[in-house]
Structure 1
């Protein structure tokens, strides 16, 4: 089989490529690898530490944010409970003065509807609270 020239080179020379024609290329590649290897051996652990530090800071920020949110939710629940209790006291206080306009049941013959039934203790405590605030609650 005849050898045809390729760009002025024989097929054998073309197969050998640039590296074989210029042995200095191998030396340069080896030098680059020898310089990059220690750099990588130093840089990868540094990068891992940096990455871990960032993830730790993110976790800390998330925990602080979650704590702030939990505190705000607890304050909101407390304020809501206080407002509901005040509304209930006001409702009972108005109900003691005007039972029909406050949506409370009418008094029945002998026993007041407020002083009997499953909510009687709660109504008594609310009436005591009204009395403690200087208001009178009569049933």
Structure 2
């Protein structure tokens, strides 16, 4: 047994629980836990806690429905960022490809630091407004 707690997953609040889960599912190549799959029988999607897994079955991201959530206004501190995630890619070409993918999935570009040769990155906001970084 470890002497330290183990991170189970990162939970993100969102008004649109399924919408944000879909963004991270497609962006990161994850899949739903069996009981969190969207309904296919025409019944309403009442999900308020969705767990996304990697190919090994490990929890990666969880999205929970939160009606009172206000999107961060980064870089302004008017509504501060409560957390953010960093995603690494191996090359500048991958950086561009994944930025474009993220934007097609509903992310928006907040900051471009690709001109810094030794630490290029993009700061984007997911569809719920949570900032995240793509970096080489």
User: Which TM-score applies when normalising by structure 2?
Assistant: 0.19
Higher relative contact order (CA 8 A, sep 6+): 2
Q: Which has the larger radius of gyration?
A: 1
Write 1 or 2 for the structure with the bigger share of helix. Answer: 1
User: Which TM-score applies when normalising by structure 1?
Assistant: 0.18
